[in-house]
Protein backbone atom coordinates (compact mmCIF):
# COMPACT_ATOMS: atom_id res chain seq x y z
CA UNK A 1 0.00 0.00 0.00
CA UNK A 2 3.01 2.28 0.38
CA UNK A 3 3.72 1.95 -3.37
CA UNK A 4 0.58 3.85 -4.47
CA UNK A 5 1.93 7.41 -3.93
CA UNK A 6 5.10 6.45 -5.78
CA UNK A 7 3.13 5.13 -8.77
CA UNK A 8 0.98 8.27 -8.86
CA UNK A 9 4.14 10.39 -8.72
CA UNK A 10 5.71 8.57 -11.67
CA UNK A 11 2.55 8.87 -13.79
CA UNK A 12 2.32 12.61 -13.17
CA UNK A 13 6.03 13.29 -13.70
CA UNK A 14 7.09 15.63 -16.58
CA UNK A 15 9.03 12.88 -18.36
CA UNK A 16 5.97 10.65 -18.49
CA UNK A 17 3.88 13.52 -19.90
CA UNK A 18 6.44 14.00 -22.67
CA UNK A 19 6.31 10.29 -23.47
CA UNK A 20 2.52 10.44 -23.71
CA UNK A 21 2.64 13.44 -26.05
CA UNK A 22 5.13 11.67 -28.29
CA UNK A 23 3.07 8.48 -28.44
CA UNK A 24 -0.08 10.43 -29.29
CA UNK A 25 0.69 12.16 -32.59
CA UNK A 26 -1.42 15.20 -33.33
CA UNK A 27 -4.13 14.54 -35.91
CA UNK A 28 -3.54 15.66 -39.48
CA UNK A 29 -5.43 18.70 -40.69
CA UNK A 30 -7.93 18.73 -43.54
CA UNK A 31 -8.83 21.42 -46.08
CA UNK A 32 -12.35 21.05 -44.69
CA UNK A 33 -11.02 22.41 -41.39
CA UNK A 34 -10.07 25.65 -43.18
CA UNK A 35 -13.20 26.31 -45.19
CA UNK A 36 -13.04 24.16 -48.31
CA UNK A 37 -16.78 23.49 -48.27
CA UNK A 38 -17.60 27.19 -47.98
CA UNK A 39 -15.13 28.38 -50.64
CA UNK A 40 -17.04 30.01 -53.49
CA UNK A 41 -14.47 30.03 -56.29
CA UNK A 42 -11.08 28.73 -57.42
CA UNK A 43 -9.11 31.54 -55.79
CA UNK A 44 -10.74 30.92 -52.42
CA UNK A 45 -10.07 27.20 -52.75
CA UNK A 46 -6.43 27.98 -53.50
CA UNK A 47 -6.24 30.11 -50.34
CA UNK A 48 -7.81 27.26 -48.33
CA UNK A 49 -5.10 24.85 -49.50
CA UNK A 50 -2.37 27.37 -48.71
CA UNK A 51 -3.72 27.92 -45.17
CA UNK A 52 -4.14 24.18 -44.62
CA UNK A 53 -0.58 23.30 -45.62
CA UNK A 54 0.88 26.18 -43.61
CA UNK A 55 -1.07 25.05 -40.55
CA UNK A 56 0.07 21.46 -41.02
CA UNK A 57 3.72 22.49 -41.16
CA UNK A 58 3.35 24.72 -38.09
CA UNK A 59 1.81 21.82 -36.16
CA UNK A 60 4.29 19.24 -37.43
CA UNK A 61 1.58 17.12 -39.08
CA UNK A 62 0.43 16.29 -42.61
CA UNK A 63 -2.63 17.22 -44.66
CA UNK A 64 -5.51 14.75 -44.82
CA UNK A 65 -7.16 14.72 -48.26
CA UNK A 66 -9.73 12.06 -47.37
CA UNK A 67 -13.15 12.37 -49.01
CA UNK A 68 -12.01 14.99 -51.52
CA UNK A 69 -12.55 14.01 -55.14
CA UNK A 70 -11.81 17.14 -57.19
CA UNK A 71 -10.67 20.66 -56.35
CA UNK A 72 -10.90 23.42 -58.95
CA UNK A 73 -8.21 26.01 -58.30
CA UNK A 74 -7.47 29.43 -59.74
CA UNK A 75 -4.12 31.10 -59.14
CA UNK A 76 -4.61 34.50 -57.41
CA UNK A 77 -2.98 37.76 -58.44
CA UNK A 78 -0.20 37.48 -55.85
CA UNK A 79 0.29 33.73 -55.43
CA UNK A 80 2.44 31.92 -52.90
CA UNK A 81 3.75 28.42 -53.40
CA UNK A 82 1.86 25.84 -51.36
CA UNK A 83 4.42 24.23 -49.01
CA UNK A 84 4.58 20.44 -48.92
CA UNK A 85 4.77 18.47 -45.68
CA UNK A 86 6.89 15.30 -45.37
CA UNK A 87 4.14 12.81 -46.19
CA UNK A 88 1.88 14.14 -48.94
CA UNK A 89 -0.75 11.52 -49.71
CA UNK A 90 -3.40 13.27 -51.80
CA UNK A 91 -5.54 10.10 -51.76
CA UNK A 92 -6.58 10.32 -55.40
CA UNK A 93 -7.54 13.99 -55.38
CA UNK A 94 -7.77 15.70 -58.77
CA UNK A 95 -6.66 19.33 -59.05
CA UNK A 96 -7.93 21.36 -62.01
CA UNK A 97 -5.78 24.48 -62.20
CA UNK A 98 -6.54 27.73 -64.00
CA UNK A 99 -3.91 30.45 -64.18
CA UNK A 100 -4.48 33.87 -65.75
CA UNK A 101 -2.41 35.76 -63.17
CA UNK A 102 1.29 34.93 -62.91
CA UNK A 103 3.84 32.16 -63.48
CA UNK A 104 4.09 30.10 -60.30
CA UNK A 105 5.05 26.74 -58.83
CA UNK A 106 1.94 25.16 -57.33
CA UNK A 107 3.76 23.16 -54.62
CA UNK A 108 7.16 23.53 -52.99
CA UNK A 109 9.49 21.71 -50.61
CA UNK A 110 12.71 23.60 -50.10
CA UNK A 111 15.51 23.04 -47.61
CA UNK A 112 17.91 26.01 -47.78
CA UNK A 113 21.64 25.46 -47.64
CA UNK A 114 24.21 27.03 -45.31
CA UNK A 115 27.36 28.35 -47.04
CA UNK A 116 30.58 26.56 -46.07
CA UNK A 117 34.17 26.56 -47.29
CA UNK A 118 35.43 23.10 -48.22
CA UNK A 119 38.92 22.21 -49.40
CA UNK A 120 39.13 20.85 -52.95
CA UNK A 121 41.04 17.80 -51.74
CA UNK A 122 38.23 16.84 -49.37
CA UNK A 123 35.62 17.23 -52.11
CA UNK A 124 37.40 14.76 -54.37
CA UNK A 125 38.12 12.28 -51.55
CA UNK A 126 34.64 12.51 -50.07
CA UNK A 127 35.98 12.43 -46.51
CA UNK A 128 34.77 15.30 -44.32
CA UNK A 129 35.36 13.85 -40.85
CA UNK A 130 37.76 16.69 -40.06
CA UNK A 131 34.99 19.28 -40.49
CA UNK A 132 32.73 19.96 -37.50
CA UNK A 133 29.73 20.91 -39.64
CA UNK A 134 29.85 17.70 -41.67
CA UNK A 135 31.31 15.04 -39.39
CA UNK A 136 28.11 13.96 -37.59
CA UNK A 137 24.69 12.89 -38.85
CA UNK A 138 23.42 13.15 -42.40
CA UNK A 139 24.15 16.08 -44.68
CA UNK A 140 23.75 17.10 -48.29
CA UNK A 141 26.74 18.99 -49.68
CA UNK A 142 25.95 21.19 -52.69
CA UNK A 143 28.90 22.11 -54.91
CA UNK A 144 28.96 24.58 -57.78
CA UNK A 145 32.02 25.48 -59.82
CA UNK A 146 32.39 29.27 -60.08
CA UNK A 147 34.46 28.79 -63.23
CA UNK A 148 32.13 27.96 -66.14
CA UNK A 149 32.22 24.45 -67.52
CA UNK A 150 31.01 25.84 -70.84
CA UNK A 151 31.41 29.59 -71.20
CA UNK A 152 29.15 30.14 -74.22
CA UNK A 153 26.76 27.58 -75.62
CA UNK A 154 26.69 27.78 -79.41
CA UNK A 155 23.77 29.89 -80.68
CA UNK A 156 22.70 30.70 -77.11
CA UNK A 157 23.30 33.58 -74.71
CA UNK A 158 24.44 31.41 -71.82
CA UNK A 159 26.88 28.65 -70.93
CA UNK A 160 26.91 26.05 -68.18
CA UNK A 161 28.05 25.92 -64.56
CA UNK A 162 28.74 22.37 -63.42
CA UNK A 163 27.26 21.23 -60.11
CA UNK A 164 27.64 18.20 -57.87
CA UNK A 165 25.73 16.94 -54.87
CA UNK A 166 27.13 14.61 -52.21
CA UNK A 167 25.18 12.67 -49.59
CA UNK A 168 27.26 12.54 -46.40
CA UNK A 169 26.75 10.21 -43.43
CA UNK A 170 28.92 10.77 -40.35
CA UNK A 171 31.49 12.68 -42.37
CA UNK A 172 31.87 10.24 -45.28
CA UNK A 173 30.23 10.76 -48.68
CA UNK A 174 28.10 7.93 -50.08
CA UNK A 175 28.96 8.97 -53.64
CA UNK A 176 31.66 10.74 -55.66
CA UNK A 177 31.61 13.92 -57.73
CA UNK A 178 31.29 13.48 -61.49
CA UNK A 179 34.72 15.02 -62.15
CA UNK A 180 37.50 16.24 -59.81
CA UNK A 181 37.70 19.76 -58.40
CA UNK A 182 41.27 19.62 -57.10
CA UNK A 183 42.88 21.46 -60.00
CA UNK A 184 43.82 25.00 -60.94
CA UNK A 185 40.86 25.54 -63.25
CA UNK A 186 38.11 24.76 -60.71
CA UNK A 187 36.74 27.01 -57.98
CA UNK A 188 34.08 25.18 -55.96
CA UNK A 189 31.48 27.09 -53.96
CA UNK A 190 29.69 24.97 -51.35
CA UNK A 191 26.71 24.88 -49.02
CA UNK A 192 25.33 22.12 -46.81
CA UNK A 193 21.91 21.00 -45.62
CA UNK A 194 21.14 19.13 -42.39
CA UNK A 195 18.95 16.11 -43.03
CA UNK A 196 16.81 15.82 -39.91
CA UNK A 197 13.60 14.73 -41.61
CA UNK A 198 12.36 11.45 -43.02
CA UNK A 199 11.58 10.61 -46.64
CA UNK A 200 9.68 13.16 -48.70
CA UNK A 201 6.59 11.42 -50.07
CA UNK A 202 4.29 12.74 -52.80
CA UNK A 203 1.66 10.32 -54.05
CA UNK A 204 -1.82 9.65 -55.38
CA UNK A 205 -2.62 12.91 -57.16
CA UNK A 206 -3.76 14.08 -60.59
CA UNK A 207 -3.15 17.61 -61.82
CA UNK A 208 -4.96 18.96 -64.87
CA UNK A 209 -4.05 22.35 -66.26
CA UNK A 210 -7.12 24.00 -67.72
CA UNK A 211 -7.20 24.99 -71.43
CA UNK A 212 -7.74 28.69 -70.68
CA UNK A 213 -4.43 29.31 -68.87
CA UNK A 214 -2.38 32.31 -69.97
CA UNK A 215 0.43 31.83 -67.43
CA UNK A 216 2.53 28.85 -66.36
CA UNK A 217 1.64 26.75 -63.36
CA UNK A 218 4.67 24.54 -62.78
CA UNK A 219 3.74 21.49 -60.74
CA UNK A 220 6.30 21.42 -57.93
CA UNK A 221 9.75 22.60 -56.89
CA UNK A 222 11.73 20.24 -54.64
CA UNK A 223 15.11 21.45 -53.39
CA UNK A 224 17.70 20.02 -51.00
CA UNK A 225 16.06 16.72 -50.02
CA UNK A 226 17.14 13.10 -49.69
CA UNK A 227 14.98 10.05 -50.36
CA UNK A 228 12.31 11.74 -52.46
CA UNK A 229 9.52 9.32 -53.37
CA UNK A 230 7.00 10.36 -56.01
CA UNK A 231 4.38 7.77 -56.97
CA UNK A 232 1.03 7.48 -58.71
CA UNK A 233 1.15 11.04 -60.04
CA UNK A 234 -0.60 12.11 -63.25
CA UNK A 235 -0.18 15.45 -65.02
CA UNK A 236 -2.22 16.50 -68.05
CA UNK A 237 -1.55 19.63 -70.10
CA UNK A 238 -3.74 20.59 -73.09
CA UNK A 239 -2.44 22.19 -76.27
CA UNK A 240 -1.30 25.73 -75.54
CA UNK A 241 0.80 28.58 -76.90
CA UNK A 242 2.80 28.69 -73.64
CA UNK A 243 6.38 27.43 -73.30
CA UNK A 244 9.31 27.17 -70.85
CA UNK A 245 7.59 24.61 -68.63
CA UNK A 246 9.61 23.10 -65.79
CA UNK A 247 6.90 20.68 -64.70
CA UNK A 248 8.26 18.85 -61.67
CA UNK A 249 11.57 20.52 -60.83
CA UNK A 250 13.99 18.64 -58.57
CA UNK A 251 17.23 20.38 -57.64
CA UNK A 252 20.10 19.54 -55.29
CA UNK A 253 18.58 16.22 -54.19
CA UNK A 254 19.77 12.64 -53.64
CA UNK A 255 18.01 9.28 -53.95
CA UNK A 256 14.98 10.37 -55.97
CA UNK A 257 12.47 7.72 -57.08
CA UNK A 258 9.52 8.06 -59.47
CA UNK A 259 7.03 5.18 -59.69
CA UNK A 260 3.88 4.92 -61.78
CA UNK A 261 4.03 8.42 -63.24
CA UNK A 262 2.06 9.61 -66.26
CA UNK A 263 2.73 12.99 -67.85
CA UNK A 264 0.89 13.90 -71.03
CA UNK A 265 1.92 17.21 -72.52
CA UNK A 266 3.86 20.22 -71.32
CA UNK A 267 3.93 23.93 -71.99
CA UNK A 268 6.28 23.73 -74.99
CA UNK A 269 6.34 24.13 -78.76
CA UNK A 270 8.33 22.55 -81.58
CA UNK A 271 10.68 25.57 -81.46
CA UNK A 272 10.31 26.57 -77.80
CA UNK A 273 11.45 24.43 -74.90
CA UNK A 274 9.48 23.09 -71.97
CA UNK A 275 9.60 19.84 -70.01
CA UNK A 276 7.43 17.61 -67.87
CA UNK A 277 10.33 16.86 -65.51
CA UNK A 278 13.43 19.00 -64.90
CA UNK A 279 16.27 17.53 -62.85
CA UNK A 280 19.23 19.69 -61.85
CA UNK A 281 22.09 18.47 -59.67
CA UNK A 282 20.69 15.10 -58.65
CA UNK A 283 22.42 11.92 -57.54
CA UNK A 284 20.78 8.52 -57.92
CA UNK A 285 17.54 9.17 -59.80
CA UNK A 286 15.30 6.22 -60.62
CA UNK A 287 12.06 6.07 -62.61
CA UNK A 288 9.94 2.92 -62.83
CA UNK A 289 6.82 2.51 -64.95
CA UNK A 290 6.69 6.03 -66.28
CA UNK A 291 4.90 7.33 -69.36
CA UNK A 292 5.93 10.75 -70.60
CA UNK A 293 5.23 12.62 -73.81
CA UNK A 294 5.60 16.32 -74.56
CA UNK A 295 6.13 18.38 -77.70
CA UNK A 296 9.68 19.41 -76.79
CA UNK A 297 10.40 16.25 -74.80
CA UNK A 298 9.54 14.96 -71.36
CA UNK A 299 12.89 15.21 -69.49
CA UNK A 300 15.23 18.21 -69.55
CA UNK A 301 18.13 17.72 -67.12
CA UNK A 302 21.54 19.02 -66.09
CA UNK A 303 24.21 17.79 -63.68
CA UNK A 304 22.95 14.22 -63.20
CA UNK A 305 25.16 11.70 -61.42
CA UNK A 306 23.65 8.22 -61.86
CA UNK A 307 20.16 7.67 -63.25
CA UNK A 308 18.15 4.54 -64.02
CA UNK A 309 14.93 4.39 -66.05
CA UNK A 310 13.03 1.08 -66.13
CA UNK A 311 9.86 -0.29 -67.74
CA UNK A 312 8.86 3.08 -69.19
CA UNK A 313 7.72 4.89 -72.33
CA UNK A 314 9.23 8.33 -72.87
CA UNK A 315 10.05 10.61 -75.78
CA UNK A 316 13.21 12.21 -74.41
CA UNK A 317 15.75 11.98 -71.60
CA UNK A 318 18.42 14.66 -71.75
CA UNK A 319 21.45 15.51 -69.78
CA UNK A 320 22.15 18.78 -71.51
CA UNK A 321 25.49 19.12 -69.79
CA UNK A 322 27.53 17.27 -67.14
CA UNK A 323 26.72 13.87 -65.74
CA UNK A 324 27.77 10.25 -65.29
CA UNK A 325 26.38 6.72 -65.63
CA UNK A 326 22.89 6.48 -67.13
CA UNK A 327 21.00 3.19 -67.56
CA UNK A 328 17.79 2.42 -69.43
CA UNK A 329 16.15 -0.99 -69.04
CA UNK A 330 13.07 -2.01 -71.00
CA UNK A 331 12.29 1.53 -72.13
CA UNK A 332 10.36 2.41 -75.29
CA UNK A 333 11.63 5.66 -76.83
CA UNK A 334 9.60 7.43 -79.53
CA UNK A 335 9.45 10.49 -81.80
CA UNK A 336 12.42 12.61 -80.63
CA UNK A 337 15.94 11.95 -79.28
CA UNK A 338 18.14 11.78 -76.18
CA UNK A 339 20.65 14.62 -75.94
CA UNK A 340 23.86 14.36 -73.91
CA UNK A 341 27.04 16.34 -73.46
CA UNK A 342 29.81 15.95 -70.89
CA UNK A 343 28.37 12.63 -69.74
CA UNK A 344 31.07 10.32 -68.39
CA UNK A 345 31.08 6.63 -67.52
CA UNK A 346 28.56 4.43 -69.32
CA UNK A 347 25.26 5.08 -71.07
CA UNK A 348 23.49 1.71 -71.16
CA UNK A 349 20.42 0.70 -73.16
CA UNK A 350 19.17 -2.76 -72.21
CA UNK A 351 16.10 -4.27 -73.91
CA UNK A 352 15.03 -0.87 -75.25
CA UNK A 353 13.20 0.09 -78.43
CA UNK A 354 13.62 3.24 -80.52
CA UNK A 355 10.87 4.27 -82.96
CA UNK A 356 11.47 7.30 -85.18
CA UNK A 357 13.97 8.25 -82.50
CA UNK A 358 17.69 9.04 -82.22
CA UNK A 359 19.13 7.11 -79.26
CA UNK A 360 22.05 9.48 -78.67
CA UNK A 361 22.57 13.08 -79.73
CA UNK A 362 26.09 13.79 -78.53
CA UNK A 363 28.00 16.95 -77.67
CA UNK A 364 25.98 19.41 -79.66
CA UNK A 365 25.84 23.09 -78.90
CA UNK A 366 27.82 22.72 -75.64
CA UNK A 367 30.80 21.49 -77.73
CA UNK A 368 31.86 19.26 -74.84
CA UNK A 369 32.77 15.77 -76.03
CA UNK A 370 34.05 13.52 -73.24
CA UNK A 371 35.18 9.93 -72.79
CA UNK A 372 32.37 7.46 -72.20
CA UNK A 373 31.00 4.14 -73.43
CA UNK A 374 27.73 3.43 -75.21
CA UNK A 375 26.27 -0.04 -74.71
CA UNK A 376 23.21 -1.49 -76.47
CA UNK A 377 21.97 -4.91 -75.36
CA UNK A 378 19.00 -6.65 -77.01
CA UNK A 379 17.51 -3.47 -78.45
CA UNK A 380 15.16 -2.81 -81.38
CA UNK A 381 15.72 0.19 -83.66
CA UNK A 382 12.79 1.12 -85.92
CA UNK A 383 14.43 3.30 -88.54
CA UNK A 384 12.83 6.06 -90.60
CA UNK A 385 14.53 7.91 -93.49
CA UNK A 386 15.17 11.04 -91.39
CA UNK A 387 16.23 9.14 -88.27
CA UNK A 388 18.40 6.34 -89.61
CA UNK A 389 21.38 6.90 -87.30
CA UNK A 390 22.17 5.71 -83.79
CA UNK A 391 24.47 8.53 -82.69
CA UNK A 392 24.30 12.15 -83.83
CA UNK A 393 27.36 14.39 -83.48
CA UNK A 394 27.51 18.10 -84.30
CA UNK A 395 29.85 21.09 -84.06
CA UNK A 396 33.00 18.93 -84.01
CA UNK A 397 34.71 21.52 -86.20
CA UNK A 398 34.14 24.35 -83.70
CA UNK A 399 36.90 25.77 -81.50
CA UNK A 400 37.84 23.53 -78.60
CA UNK A 401 36.50 24.29 -75.14
CA UNK A 402 38.75 26.37 -72.86
CA UNK A 403 38.42 23.93 -69.93
CA UNK A 404 41.30 21.49 -69.74
CA UNK A 405 38.90 18.58 -69.23
CA UNK A 406 37.18 19.41 -72.52
CA UNK A 407 40.16 20.50 -74.63
CA UNK A 408 40.28 17.21 -76.55
CA UNK A 409 37.18 16.18 -78.44
CA UNK A 410 36.33 12.60 -77.60
CA UNK A 411 33.75 10.22 -79.02
CA UNK A 412 32.47 7.11 -77.25
CA UNK A 413 33.37 3.48 -77.69
CA UNK A 414 30.34 1.51 -78.86
CA UNK A 415 29.26 -2.04 -78.01
CA UNK A 416 26.16 -3.51 -79.63
CA UNK A 417 24.84 -6.94 -78.65
CA UNK A 418 21.85 -8.50 -80.42
CA UNK A 419 20.21 -5.48 -82.04
CA UNK A 420 17.30 -5.74 -84.47
CA UNK A 421 17.00 -2.91 -87.00
CA UNK A 422 13.72 -2.57 -88.89
CA UNK A 423 13.77 -0.29 -91.91
CA UNK A 424 10.51 1.65 -92.29
CA UNK A 425 8.93 4.17 -94.66
CA UNK A 426 11.52 3.52 -97.37
CA UNK A 427 14.65 3.81 -95.23
CA UNK A 428 17.58 1.96 -96.82
CA UNK A 429 20.73 3.03 -94.97
CA UNK A 430 21.93 2.56 -91.39
CA UNK A 431 24.49 4.94 -89.87
CA UNK A 432 26.29 4.49 -86.56
CA UNK A 433 27.77 8.02 -86.19
CA UNK A 434 26.10 10.81 -88.17
CA UNK A 435 28.16 13.98 -88.09
CA UNK A 436 26.48 17.24 -89.09
CA UNK A 437 29.60 19.40 -88.77
CA UNK A 438 30.46 21.48 -91.81
CA UNK A 439 33.33 20.20 -93.90
CA UNK A 440 34.18 16.78 -95.24
CA UNK A 441 36.82 15.79 -92.69
CA UNK A 442 37.18 15.83 -88.90
CA UNK A 443 40.56 15.29 -87.23
CA UNK A 444 42.09 14.72 -83.79
CA UNK A 445 39.26 12.72 -82.24
CA UNK A 446 40.19 11.06 -78.97
CA UNK A 447 39.05 8.11 -76.83
CA UNK A 448 37.15 6.24 -79.58
CA UNK A 449 39.16 3.05 -79.98
CA UNK A 450 36.64 0.20 -80.07
CA UNK A 451 33.46 -0.62 -81.97
CA UNK A 452 32.13 -4.10 -81.29
CA UNK A 453 28.96 -5.48 -82.87
CA UNK A 454 27.93 -9.01 -81.89
CA UNK A 455 24.51 -9.86 -83.21
CA UNK A 456 22.82 -7.49 -85.68
CA UNK A 457 19.83 -8.14 -87.92
CA UNK A 458 19.01 -5.38 -90.40
CA UNK A 459 15.55 -6.02 -91.81
CA UNK A 460 14.75 -4.41 -95.14
CA UNK A 461 11.55 -2.49 -95.78
CA UNK A 462 9.67 -4.93 -98.00
CA UNK A 463 11.14 -5.07 -101.50
CA UNK A 464 13.47 -2.13 -100.91
CA UNK A 465 16.88 -3.54 -99.98
CA UNK A 466 19.29 -1.94 -97.56
CA UNK A 467 22.03 -0.22 -99.54
CA UNK A 468 24.61 0.38 -96.85
CA UNK A 469 25.82 0.31 -93.28
CA UNK A 470 28.08 3.24 -92.40
CA UNK A 471 30.23 3.69 -89.30
CA UNK A 472 30.45 7.47 -89.81
CA UNK A 473 29.09 9.53 -92.67
CA UNK A 474 32.14 11.79 -93.15
CA UNK A 475 35.89 11.20 -93.08
CA UNK A 476 37.20 11.19 -89.51
CA UNK A 477 40.74 10.86 -88.21
CA UNK A 478 41.01 9.41 -84.72
CA UNK A 479 44.10 9.72 -82.54
CA UNK A 480 44.46 5.95 -82.61
CA UNK A 481 43.17 3.35 -85.04
CA UNK A 482 39.80 1.90 -84.05
CA UNK A 483 39.54 -1.80 -83.32
CA UNK A 484 36.32 -2.82 -85.06
CA UNK A 485 34.74 -6.23 -85.20
CA UNK A 486 31.37 -7.43 -86.45
CA UNK A 487 30.04 -10.93 -85.98
CA UNK A 488 26.70 -12.66 -86.33
CA UNK A 489 25.35 -9.99 -88.66
CA UNK A 490 22.60 -10.42 -91.26
CA UNK A 491 21.63 -7.55 -93.57
CA UNK A 492 18.58 -7.43 -95.86
CA UNK A 493 16.59 -9.97 -93.94
CA UNK A 494 13.02 -8.92 -94.82
CA UNK A 495 10.35 -8.24 -92.20
CA UNK A 496 8.45 -11.28 -91.05
CA UNK A 497 5.69 -12.10 -93.52
CA UNK A 498 7.28 -10.11 -96.39
CA UNK A 499 8.41 -12.08 -99.43
CA UNK A 500 11.37 -10.44 -101.15
CA UNK A 501 11.37 -10.69 -104.94
CA UNK A 502 14.54 -11.19 -106.92
CA UNK A 503 18.16 -11.40 -105.83
CA UNK A 504 19.39 -9.19 -103.00
CA UNK A 505 22.80 -7.61 -103.56
CA UNK A 506 25.22 -7.16 -100.69
CA UNK A 507 24.92 -3.94 -98.75
CA UNK A 508 28.10 -1.87 -98.55
CA UNK A 509 29.96 -1.33 -95.27
CA UNK A 510 31.61 2.09 -95.18
CA UNK A 511 33.98 2.92 -92.34
CA UNK A 512 35.36 6.43 -93.11
CA UNK A 513 37.72 6.16 -90.14
CA UNK A 514 41.12 4.55 -89.51
CA UNK A 515 40.49 0.89 -88.65
CA UNK A 516 43.05 -1.12 -86.72
CA UNK A 517 44.56 -3.68 -89.08
CA UNK A 518 43.06 -1.91 -92.08
CA UNK A 519 39.79 -3.83 -92.14
CA UNK A 520 36.85 -4.60 -89.93
CA UNK A 521 37.11 -8.11 -88.50
CA UNK A 522 33.98 -9.87 -89.78
CA UNK A 523 32.73 -13.27 -88.58
CA UNK A 524 29.43 -14.83 -89.69
CA UNK A 525 28.44 -11.69 -91.57
CA UNK A 526 25.94 -12.06 -94.41
CA UNK A 527 24.89 -9.71 -97.21
CA UNK A 528 27.37 -7.02 -96.12
CA UNK A 529 30.56 -6.26 -98.00
CA UNK A 530 33.37 -3.90 -96.97
CA UNK A 531 33.95 -1.07 -99.39
Q: Is 205 in the same domain as 352? A: no
Per-residue three-class SS string for 438-491: CCCEEEEEECCCEEEEEEEEEECECCECCCEEEEECCEEEECCCEEEEEEEEEE
The closest of 483, 490, 476 to 443, measured between CA atoms, is 476
Q: What is the C-alpha separation between 431 and 442, in angstroms, rounded?
A: 17
DSSP state of 81: P
Q: Is 158 in the same domain as 292? A: no
Asked whether residue 284 is assigned to any structural domain, the reply reads: yes
Asked whether residue 94 is assigned to any structural domain, the reply reads: yes
pTM exceeds 0.75 for this model? yes
How many structural domains are present in the chain?
3
Asked whether residue 270 is assigned to any structural domain, the reply reads: yes
Q: Is 402 in the same domain as 415? A: yes
Q: Is 414 in the same domain as 529? A: yes
Asked whether residue 331 is assigned to any structural domain, the reply reads: no
Tell which of 150, 171, 194 closes a domain: 194
Q: Is 437 in the same domain as 453? A: yes
The mean pLDDT values, 10 residues at a time, for the chain of 531 residues are: 38 40 70 98 98 98 98 97 98 98 98 97 98 98 98 85 98 99 97 95 99 98 99 98 98 99 97 97 99 98 99 98 99 98 98 98 87 99 97 85 91 98 94 85 94 96 88 94 97 59 75 96 96 86
Q: Is 365 in the same domain as 486? A: yes
Q: What is the C-alpha separation between 514 and 6, in angstroms, rounded?
A: 91
Q: Is 202 in the same domain as 232? A: yes
**pLDDT confidence of residue 5:** 40
Asked whether residue 442 is assigned to any structural domain, the reply reads: yes
DSSP state of 366: G
Q: Is 363 in the same domain as 408? A: yes
> 426, 433 in Cβ contact below 8 A?
no
Asked whether residue 530 is assigned to any structural domain, the reply reads: yes
CA distances from 157 to 150, 153, 160, 273, 460 (A): 12, 7, 11, 15, 44
Residue 120: domain span: 114-194
Q: Is 295 in the same domain as 430? A: no
Q: Is 299 in the same domain as 235? A: yes
Asked whether residue 76 is assigned to any structural domain, the reply reads: yes
Tell which of 194, 209, 244 closes a domain: 194
Tell which of 166, 194, 222 closes a domain: 194
Question: Which residues make beta-bridge pairs with 96?
Answer: 72, 208
Q: Is 101 in the same domain as 152? A: no
Q: Is 135 in the same domain as 80? A: no
Asked whether residue 12 is assigned to any structural domain, the reply reads: no
Amino acid sequence: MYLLPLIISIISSPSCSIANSISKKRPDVSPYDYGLSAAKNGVERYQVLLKTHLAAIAAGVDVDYSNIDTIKLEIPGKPSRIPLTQNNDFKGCVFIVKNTSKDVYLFEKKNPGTPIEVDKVLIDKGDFRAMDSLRYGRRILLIEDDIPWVRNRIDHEYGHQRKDVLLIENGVAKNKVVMPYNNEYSKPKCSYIRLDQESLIIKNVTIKRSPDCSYLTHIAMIVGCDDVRVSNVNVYTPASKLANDRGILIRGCTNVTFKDIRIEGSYSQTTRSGYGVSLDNVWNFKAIRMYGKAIWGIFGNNNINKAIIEDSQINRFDIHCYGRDISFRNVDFFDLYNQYSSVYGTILFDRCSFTDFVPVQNGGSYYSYVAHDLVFNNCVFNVTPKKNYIISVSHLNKTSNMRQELAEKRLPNVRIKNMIVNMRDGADDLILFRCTSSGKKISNIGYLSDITIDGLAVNSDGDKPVKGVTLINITMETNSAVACQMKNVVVNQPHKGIVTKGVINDAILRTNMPIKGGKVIMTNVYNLKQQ
